[in-house]
Amino acid sequence: MYNHIKNTIKILGDFTLFNLNIFLSGRKMYFLEIIKQLFLIGYYSMPIVAFSAVFMGAMLALHTYTGLDLFQSQTMVAQILAKSITREIGPVVVGIVVAGRVASTIAAEIGTMRVTEQVDLLRSLSINVHAYLVLPKIIAALISFPVLEIISALFGMLGGYLIGTYKFAFSKMLYISDTLTFITYADLMSGMTKAFFFGFITASVSCFNALRATHGAKGVGIAVTNSVVASFVLILLSNYLITLAIFHGK
pLDDT in the model for residue 73: 79
pLDDT in the model for residue 26: 62
Given a contact cutoff of 8 angstroms between Cβ atoms, the answer to whether 139 and 202 are in contact is: no
Residues with Cβ within 8 Å of 245's Cβ and at least 6 positions away in sequence, in order, are none
Express each pLDDT in 102-159 by its tens digit.
999 999 999 999 998 898 888 888 888 888 999 999 999 999 999 999 999 999 999 9
Express each pLDDT in 179-215 by its tens digit.
888 888 888 889 999 999 999 999 999 999 999 988 7
Residues with Cβ within 8 Å of 247's Cβ and at least 6 positions away in sequence, in order, are 87, 186, 190
Stated pTM of the model: 0.91
Task: Please choose, from the candidates 250, 112, 103, 109, the residue with its C-alpha nearest in 3D space to the C-alpha of residue 186.
Answer: 250
Express each pLDDT in 10-56 by its tens digit.
888 888 888 888 877 666 788 999 999 999 999 999 999 999 999 99
pLDDT in the model for residue 15: 87
Given a contact cutoff of 8 angstroms between Cβ atoms, the answer to whether 21 and 120 are in contact is: no
Q: How far apart are CA 171 and CA 68, in angstroms?
A: 17
Confidence class for position 217, pLDDT limits 50, 70, 90? confident
| DSSP code, position 25 | S
Q: How far apart are CA 92 and CA 149, in angstroms?
A: 8
pLDDT in the model for residue 111: 93
